[in-house]
Amino acid sequence: MKVLLDDVFFSMARSGVARYWESIVREWSRSGMLERAGIELTILNRSGVLEPYGFPTIGFGHRNGELDYRAVERGLMTSICESEGTDVFVSTYFTWVPGPKNLCIIYDLIPEVFNFNLTARDWVERRLAPVVADAYVAISESSRTDLLRHYDFVDESLVTIARPGIDHETFWRGSDHDIADFRRAAGLDRPYLLIPGQRHSRPSEYKNARIVLEAIARHGSNDLDIVFTGGEEVEDWERDAARDAGVALHRLQLSDAELALAYSGATVVVYPSLYEGFGMPPLEALAVGTPVITTLRSSLPEAVGDLSLDFDGYSIDAFTERLRQSQNTEHVRHIRRAGPEWASGFTWTETAQNMADALLRCAATPAFPNRDRFVESLRAYNSHSIELQR
């Protein structure tokens, strides 16, 4: 069985999607599971990130910025699939081709859930991917539920769950010496709470970090400084909130190894998101044994189990109480032990195996009624889109 993987946007910063796919391909390469399953993988190589893993690649430039460049690319990808004899096409981010079976990966449905303007061309293209697909992978039960709610034509039997794993060689609790060295190098001389990744994600603001800063400005931070890792540039109102609380605010850009030490050194990791496709940061924090505060919305219970100190995402008083509880000696001792034990159940080997199984199931899925006519309609749509550029 021949599979073509389109590595869309791997040249971008290390997003969750990029980490997800690089980890899967690395595991496929290390384990040989694709060969044992009879799967021949070729990678449509836009960035070179996946070249080191030994699979055949086809060079493919990305022309973002041209009017409807996707239609031109899709025409080229269709030709590649035909010449390669591709059975299943799978994309890291919502590209698709008419002809071979399409496996669509669902990370989250943020545009649908938060009522974005779905008539914009980018979202029209993204929304076509589930329509065209023959089978699906969701990265959580929550994302699977959202897919079935917003695309009610999808047959639930065609959706495989392939939840993210943890890189356990990186995300483990550092030694006291290593943590102290990290803190000294980062200029962190006081206890701190850590908010990882994006904090806002406008226009929806679903990352919801504003509630944390507002709570700290109003009630203080229990003498904890504030650390942002990655995410947006620090804004004036965030500096003002930290100043009002009398604490320092730091924003750090870190490697994964440094992030593991930042988690290990934190008093608490705060992840107040109102919606997640899965929610890797709180799981990574638990893997190193650090207390976590989350909202337990959407997929977050799948990531943290019953180990998070949760609040509703809106109550400043509730968050402030959880912040106080996070420093309770018994709770800290419990998370030091239970967090790594919980995180040990998330492995990239399982993720890679589930994705391989999904590829096989996609290829074996019976064609839906009138699929040939549907494919011809898609080809006509794509040809017309290309003609509009001339």
* 268 within 8 A of 326, measured Cβ to Cβ: yes
Low-confidence residues of the chain: pLDDT under 70: 9-14, 62-68, 389-390
- Helix runs in the chain, H state only: 16-31, 33-37, 69-84, 110-113, 121-132, 141-150, 176-186, 210-219, 236-245, 256-265, 280-287, 300-304, 316-325, 329-343, 348-364, 371-387
Q: Decide if 103 contacts 70 (C-beta within 8 A).
A: no
Parallel, antiparallel, or unpaired for β 2-6 and 309-310?
A: unpaired
User: Please, which residues have CB within 8 angstroms of residue 25's CB and are 6 or more apart in sequence?
Assistant: 5, 43, 50, 53, 55
Alpha-carbon span 127 to 109, nearest angstrom: 10
Residue 259 tokens, joined: 């992030």
Supply the pLDDT for residue 68: 61
Q: List the structure tokens of 119.
A: 């008539």
At residue 225's C-alpha, the angle toward residues 175 and 19, to 5°, is: 60
3-class DSSP state of 341: helix
Cis status of the peptide bond prior to 111, with omega within 30 of 0: no
DSSP 328: -
Element (H, E) at 195: strand 192-196
Residue with tokens 């769950």: 161
Residue 172 falls in which region: left (phi positive, over 0), alpha (psi -120 to 50) or beta = beta
Q: Is 21 helix (H, G, I), strand (E, B) or coil?
A: helix
Q: How far apart are CA 98 and CA 84, in angstroms?
A: 14
Task: List, in order of start, the domains of the chain with CATH numbers.
Answer: 2-165+348-387 (3.40.50.2000), 176-343 (3.40.50.2000)
Long-range contacts at 374-378 (CB < 8 A, ≥ 24 apart): 375/98, 375/99, 376/98, 378/98, 378/132
- 247 burial (CB, 10 Å; 0-12 / 13-18 / 19+) is buried
Q: Is the pTM of this model over 0.85?
A: yes
Q: Give residue 221's identity as a one-letter amino acid code.
A: S
**Three-class secondary structure of residue 135 per DSSP:** strand
What is the tens place of the pLDDT at every residue in 231-242? 999 999 999 999
